[in-house]
């Protein structure tokens, strides 16, 4: 994935794809910052974390743009999200996510909302990067209540 990011950056430069190049450079800068701040090695796991954070920030921005009725910014931000999605593993469908959550519930047998932490810990280890963890949390919370 990290090599793909580098290759895509070079390709975007050659093809003069300004928006794509800007997004890739932001990801690379965030990766480097994360490496420096937390003394982590740059690998696929770190890339997934950084890309997920970037996507989350943009989704939050889209919500704000919708409140301000700024369709031009919504489209631009959505295009950035589409570019970022290329650097995540294949995303699971909602049915697949629910199936994994069912397996976790069968394994842990949670009885109350107090068990949310245990369930989320398992879900995070199995679904991180493959699904939107905000949606996973919502599904788990509904099942526990």
What confidence tens digit (pLDDT) does each residue in 48-65 have? 889 999 999 999 999 999
| pLDDT tens digit sequence for 61-93 | 999 999 999 999 999 999 999 999 999 888 899
Residue 12's CATH number = 1.10.1510.10
What single DSSP character describes residue 40?
-
| pLDDT tens digit sequence for 133-145 | 889 999 999 998 8
Same domain for 103 and 81: no
Same domain for 99 and 73: no
CA distances from 119 to 53, 99, 101, 134 (A): 22, 14, 8, 14
Nearest to 88 by CA among 60, 40, 50: 50
User: What total number of domains does the chain contain?
Assistant: 2
DSSP string, 70-139: -HHHHHHHHHHHHHHHTTSPPPPPHHHHHHHHHHHHHHH---SGGGHHHHHHHHHHHHBTTB-HHHHHHH
Residue 82: the pLDDT is: 95
Instruction: Give yes or no for residue 129 having a pLDDT over 90.
Output: no
pLDDT level of residue 45 (50, 70, 90 thresholds): confident
């Amino acid at each position: 994935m990290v090599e793909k990011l580098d290759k895509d950056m070079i390709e975007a430069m050659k093809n003069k794809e300004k928006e794509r190049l800007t997004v890739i450079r932001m990801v690379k800068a965030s990766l480097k910052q994360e490496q420096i701040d937390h003394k982590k090695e740059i690998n696929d796991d770190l890339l997934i974390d950084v890309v997920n954070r970037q996507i989350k920030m943009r989704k939050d921005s889209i919500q704000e743009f919708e409140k301000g009725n700024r369709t031009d910014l919504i489209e631009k931000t959505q295009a950035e999200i589409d570019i970022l999605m290329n650097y995540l593993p294949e995303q699971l469908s909602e049915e697949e996510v629910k199936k994994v959550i069912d397996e976790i519930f069968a394994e842990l047998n949670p009885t109350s909302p107090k068990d949310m932490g245990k369930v989320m810990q398992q879900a995070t280890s199995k679904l991180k990067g493959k699904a939107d963890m905000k949606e996973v949390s919502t599904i788990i919370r509904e099942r526990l209540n």
